[in-house]
């Protein structure tokens, strides 16, 4: 057209710019933009919208690529990438949004598409106040925000955790009759979930007349974010039943639910979906699989997936390092961390939590101190509460209780009840009641309703025969309406989860369980087992204490697993609190006698029992 001498009109340029966008040819797009300016077509509404769309998609909203030459020819030009804030100071803008903004400002006429593009641009650039300001300006220009506008700004309230403004937008959508729109609905589901109002997310989701994969994913992710793991898995199944094909986001959202619930068979089913869907090369899904298998007790499968990844990012590396840490393979975790550094990958704060945890579980005290100090000195990272807690755990496990106490007292940040509780747990393990009382007072001052601290102190008083002090604490707990969480363990068997609590007699297989335990107890005693009743916190005789140990939840779950599986099958049990010292010894004997690998996940780590020993090396 240009070669023939014909001048393109305003109907031509939007199509040409769209083609440049689809071909991702920014250089050609800039040339076309220059031509538009020289021909005076930059005032056309549709051409302006097409230019904004091109710069938004080809530059990205936080791009630093220079594209300012074309604006040199444009009238009323401001400084290339600066904006004046409310205080009159210059603010540097990312060149992506800067280019979009310049086109927008020079357009004499703007429609809803124009405003939506600039609003979405500000939102994607993290410039939330500017995005909201543009929404208000849009209304002042007699243009009504549509579904796209609202779905662009609703995520802002999730980031701000400003549910009040989000509800105002929701109300506006209802009044305009667009609340059932799938894009607005998905944004509302996400906004309410991130604001910890999952019930509102459910109401919005089930009100939608049509649901796409984004709306399903939003609620699945919302359930996981709010600790509703069973509901997340149930909804995922409903999603598949509804013939909605799960994508990468769905898998990345639901796998943490399997990890938290230790449901290995469901995790394997999800892995099958991933393979059939052709998503196994997706780095986010692969990282989620590494994390899932690690937390479900299969570190070998986690490592196999990790080794099969074409590219390793920080998430996948951190997942495998933390996996090895929780399984007691601290030296392997440290080796992977060092390999990551050698490859030029800068560890982030989560990676340091993982490597400090690894050091803690195998007693690498000096190495942990080096890593902790290097955070600020070498990598410019601030230590957060998680890092301090990991060091306290490290010192506590190593028996350096006074050092841990001094460390907490001198923390850069204010210690929380959970940090002190980590030390209190170590005091319990090392039977240091005097320090435990000092630590407990700290906890009760900061967090008066810390149930774990009350339980630990009751247990320590009982272990030391100080029944009066224990009774006082229990009375205090009753007055505060606090009830001790019962110890429970569960095991998956034939796609069903079986739960046990200490002293449980309700399970249909209880007679067979007791028969097995009585039989194996005889063999254990011949092998040299002697019951450790020091952890039985009841004022009863020694024989009764042995009977109570006999009914501990982890022992019942292990027995149930053995009597219901073929010889050689690995037994996997999860317990909600720390495994008791006597059960730890007993399960070592059971693993030897039955020639089984028994994996127990308690509230802090995995114990792999095999041939009479445990992966923790009795350092736990």
CA atoms of 522 and 30, how far apart (whole Å): 84
Over range 55-71, report the average pLDDT: 55
Phi/psi class of residue 494: alpha, beta or left (left: φ > 0; alpha: ψ in -120 to 50)? left
Q: What is the DSSP string of 382-393?
A: ---HHHHHHHHH
Q: Which residues pair with 501 in a beta bridge?
A: 488
Long-range contacts of 60-65 (CB under 8 A, 24+ apart): 60/96, 61/94, 61/96, 61/97, 61/100, 61/121, 61/124, 61/125, 62/94, 62/96, 62/97, 62/125, 62/126, 63/94, 63/95, 63/96, 64/94, 64/95, 65/26, 65/95
Q: How high is the pLDDT of residue 551?
A: 85
For residue range 198-215, list pLDDT tens digits in order. 999 999 999 888 888 888
List the alpha helices (DSSP H) in 208-298.
213-225, 229-241, 248-261, 264-277, 283-295
Over range 579-602, report the average pLDDT: 94
> φ, ψ for residue 144 (rounded to 5)?
-90, 130
For residue range 438-454, list pLDDT tens digits in order. 999 999 999 988 998 99
Over range 325-352, report the average pLDDT: 94
Over range 387-401, report the average pLDDT: 96
Question: Which run of H or E residues covers position 431?
Answer: none
Q: How high is the pLDDT of residue 382?
A: 94
Angle at 561 between CA 559 and CA 566, to 5 degrees: 115
> φ, ψ for residue 230 (rounded to 5)?
-65, -40
Q: How high is the pLDDT of residue 159?
A: 67
Reported confidence tier of residue 67, pLDDT bands at 50, 70, 90: very low
Q: How high is the pLDDT of residue 95?
A: 53
Q: Are 111 and 145 in contact (CB under 8 A)?
A: no
**Confidence check: pLDDT of 81 > 50:** no
**Confidence check: pLDDT of 70 > 60:** no
Over range 239-258, report the average pLDDT: 90
Q: Which two tokens stand for residue 383?
A: 């230590």
Supply the Cα-derived Rg of the chain in whole angstroms. 30
CA atoms of 272 and 280, how far apart (whole Å): 10
Whole-prediction pTM value?
Answer: 0.76
**Confidence check: pLDDT of 293 > 90:** yes
Q: How high is the pLDDT of residue 76?
A: 44
Q: Quick one: what percent of the chain has pLDDT higher than 70?
A: 90
Q: Are 236 and 221 in contact (CB under 8 A)?
A: no
Q: Are 288 and 309 in contact (CB under 8 A)?
A: no
Residue with tokens 């006999």: 550
Residue with tokens 């999603």: 239
User: Which of 457-492 are b and which e, b meaning 16 or more Cβ less than 10 Å from the residue's Cβ?
Assistant: bbebbbbeeeeebbeebbeebeeeeeeeeebbbbbb
**Confidence check: pLDDT of 78 > 60:** no
For residue range 499-542, list pLDDT tens digits in order. 999 887 889 999 999 999 999 999 999 999 988 776 665 655 66
Q: Are 334 and 359 in contact (CB under 8 A)?
A: yes
Q: Are 9 and 16 in contact (CB under 8 A)?
A: no
Domain boundaries, the chain: 1-144, 312-383, 384-484, 489-614
Give the range among 7-16, 209-218, 221-230 with minimum mean pLDDT: 7-16
Over range 243-248, report the average pLDDT: 88
Q: Which two tokens stand for residue 44?
A: 């056309």
Q: Which two tokens stand for residue 117?
A: 């593009």
Alpha carbon 259 to its chain's center = 10
**Confidence check: pLDDT of 264 > 80:** yes
Q: How high is the pLDDT of residue 463?
A: 83
Reported confidence tier of residue 257, pLDDT bands at 50, 70, 90: very high
**Confidence check: pLDDT of 365 > 90:** yes
Spatial CA neighbour of 593 closest among 616, 615, 610: 610
Q: Which of 209-213, 253-257, 261-265 has the highest mean pLDDT?
A: 253-257
Say what the alpha-carbon torsion angle 115, 121, 124, 129 is, to the nearest 10 degrees.
-70
Reported confidence tier of residue 287, pLDDT bands at 50, 70, 90: very high
Reported confidence tier of residue 126, pLDDT bands at 50, 70, 90: confident
- List Cα–Cα distances, 618 to 472, 484, 549, 581, 588, in angstroms: 34, 27, 19, 10, 11
> φ, ψ for residue 241 (rounded to 5)?
-60, -35
**Confidence check: pLDDT of 419 > 70:** yes
- Please provide the CATH number assigned to the domain covering 384-484: 1.25.40.10
- pLDDT, the chain, mean: 86
Q: Which two tokens stand for residue 355?
A: 């490597």
For residue range 174-203, list pLDDT tens digits in order. 887 877 788 888 888 988 988 889 999 999
What's the first-to-final CA gap in the chain, in angstroms?
78
């Amino acid at each position: 057209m240009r070669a023939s001498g014909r001048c393109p009109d305003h109907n031509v340029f939007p199509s040409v710019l769209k083609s440049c966008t689809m071909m991702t040819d920014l250089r050609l797009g800039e040339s076309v933009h220059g031509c538009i300016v020289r021909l005076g077509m930059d005032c056309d509404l549709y051409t302006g919208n097409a230019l904004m769309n091109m710069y938004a998609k080809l530059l990205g909203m936080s791009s630093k690529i220079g594209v300012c030459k074309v604006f040199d020819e444009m009238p009323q030009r401001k400084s290339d990438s600066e904006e004046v804030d409310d205080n009159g100071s210059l603010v540097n803008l990312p060149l992506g949004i800067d280019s979009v903004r310049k086109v927008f400002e020079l357009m004499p006429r703007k429609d809803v598409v124009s405003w939506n593009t600039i609003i979405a641009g500000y939102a994607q650039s993290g410039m939330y106040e500017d995005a909201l300001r543009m929404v208000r300006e849009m209304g002042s220009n007699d243009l009504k925000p549509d579904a796209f506008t609202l779905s662009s700004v609703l995520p802002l309230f999730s980031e701000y955790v400003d549910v009040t403004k989000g509800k105002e937008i929701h109300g506006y959508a209802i009044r305009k009759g667009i609340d059932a729109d799938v894009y607005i609905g998905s944004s509302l589901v996400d906004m309410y979930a991130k604001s910890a109002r999952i019930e509102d997310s459910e109401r919005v989701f089930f009100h939608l007349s049509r649901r796409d994969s984004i709306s399903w994913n939003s609620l699945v992710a919302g359930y996981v974010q709010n600790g509703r793991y069973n509901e997340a898995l149930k909804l995922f199944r409903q999603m598949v039943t509804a013939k909605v094909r799960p994508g990468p986001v769905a898998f990345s959202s639901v796998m943490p639910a399997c990890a938290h619930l230790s449901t290995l068979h469901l995790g394997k089913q999800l892995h099958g979906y991933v393979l059939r869907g052709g998503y196994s090369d997706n780095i986010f899904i692969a990282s989620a699989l590494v994390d899932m298998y690690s937390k479900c007790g299969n570190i070998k499968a986690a490592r196999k997936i990790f080794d099969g990844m074409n590219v390793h990012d920080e998430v996948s590396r951190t997942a495998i390092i933390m996996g090895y840490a929780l399984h007691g393979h601290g030296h392997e975790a440290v080796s992977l961390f060092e390999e990551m550094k050698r490859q030029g990958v800068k560890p982030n704060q989560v990676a340091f939590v993982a490597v400090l945890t690894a050091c803690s579980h195998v007693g690498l005290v000096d190495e942990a101190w080096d890593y902790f100090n290097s955070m600020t000195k070498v990598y410019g990272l601030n230590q957060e509460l998680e890092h301090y807690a990991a060091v306290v755990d490290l010192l506590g496990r190593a028996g350096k209780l006074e050092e841990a106490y001094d460390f907490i007292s001198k923390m850069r940040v204010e210690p929380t009840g959970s940090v002190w509780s980590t030390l209190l747990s170590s005091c319990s393990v090392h039977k240091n009641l005097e320090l435990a009382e000092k630590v407990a007072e700290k906890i009760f001052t900061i967090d008066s309703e810390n149930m774990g601290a009350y339980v630990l102190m009751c247990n320590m008083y009982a272990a030391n025969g100080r029944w009066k002090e224990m009774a006082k604490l229990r009375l205090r707990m009753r007055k505060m309406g606090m009830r001790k969480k019962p110890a429970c363990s569960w095991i998956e068997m034939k796609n069903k989860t079986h739960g046990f609590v200490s002293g449980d007699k309700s399970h249909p297989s209880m007679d067979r369980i007791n028969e097995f335990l009585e039989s194996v107890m005889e063999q254990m005693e011949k092998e040299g087992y002697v019951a450790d009743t020091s952890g039985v916190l009841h004022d009863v005789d020694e024989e009764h204490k042995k009977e109570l140990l006999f009914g501990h939840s982890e022992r019942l779950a292990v027995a149930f697993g053995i009597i219901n599986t073929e010889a050689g099958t690995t037994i996997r049990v999860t317990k909600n609190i720390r495994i008791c010292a006597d059960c730890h010894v007993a399960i070592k004997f059971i693993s030897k006698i039955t020639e089984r690998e028994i994996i127990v996940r308690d509230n802090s780590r995995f114990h792999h029992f095999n041939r009479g020993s445990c992966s923790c090396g009795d350092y736990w």
